[in-house]
Structure formats: C-alpha cells, structure tokens
Amino acid sequence: AGLTIGLSVMGMGLFRAALPEQEWAIIVSSFGYPMGFLAVILARQQLFTENTLTAVLPVMTEPTLEKAWQLLRLWSVVLFGNIVGTLLFAWAVLHLPIFNEAADAAFLEIGREVMHNDLAQMFAKGIVSGWMIATMVWLIPAAEGAKIWIIEMVTYL
C-alpha cells in the first residue's frame, strides 16, 4: 500500500502543475489527494491506519500475550511495507524521468509544505488523520453504493 498511496501525491501534484497559480487552485488540486486512498482501499491493500481498529478487537476481547504478539507482528509488517513502498515511490518520482519539470516542482513543493510542520503539528495531524481513516474503514461496509464518495470525502478533508 505504501507504493500505491504515492498516487495521492502524484494526483495532487499533477493537478497543481496543470492549474494556474490562483487562490482557488489548491481546492481543485486537493481532489488529487484521494486518488491513492481510492486505489489502496478498492484494491484491498493494507494501509497501516486501517489496521488500528479491526486488528485490536481480538486482543481486546481475549487479551493474551500470543494475540498481542500477533498484533504487533501484523502492525510491524504492514508499517514496514508501507514505509518501504513510500520510499520507493518517492525515489522513483525524484530520480526517474517520468514527469515534466512542472510536475516535479509541484511534488517537491507539496513535500516542503508538509515538512514545514513542527513535530507537535505532525503528531497531532497524524492522530486526527489516523482517526479519520479508521472511521472511514468502519463507514465503508455500510456505504454500499457510496463507497467511492466516502473515501473521497474523508480523504479530501
């Protein structure tokens, strides 16, 4: 999922590169962000934040060291895979001649904007984002025909 979630930055960056530098452009380019989440969730890949609620239930209902170990192992494998995939995506975007200069500049600009947050901001935003994604995962089974809209709305925010 780490590799696929890169589609979020790619979608946002490609929109940003194609739009004029106007105040409203951020609103439109942000519609590219849900692309990675749509691909990850519809392809049933394992995003780390999706494993925070469902995977904990067996440990909460019957707490044992074995179940806690299984949970930690699952989280470790999924988190490691997500990080490696994200790093591979970032490397490919930075070093392979895939996109034009405007898109490359947009990708770097998005990264710089995120890195302007201090540690406390990153942590707080991570908590809120994790809660939103976990809530989305619980909403999807009830969404029936609105699954794509649920993913789009939650991740656009």
**SS3 of the chain:** CHHHHHHHHHHHHHHHHHCCCCCCHHHHHHHHCHHHHHHHHHCCCCCHHHHCCHHHHHHHHCCCHHHHHHHHHHHHHHHHHHHHHHHHHHHHHHHCCCCCHHHHHHHHHHHHHHHCCCHHHHHHHHHHHHHHHHHHHHHHHHHHHHHHHHHHHHHHC
Query: Which class is domain 2-156?
Result: mainly alpha
Give pLDDT tens digits along the chain (157 positions). 889 999 999 999 999 999 999 999 999 999 999 999 999 988 988 777 666 667 888 899 999 999 999 999 998 998 899 899 999 999 999 999 999 999 999 999 999 999 999 999 999 999 999 889 888 888 888 888 899 999 999 999 8
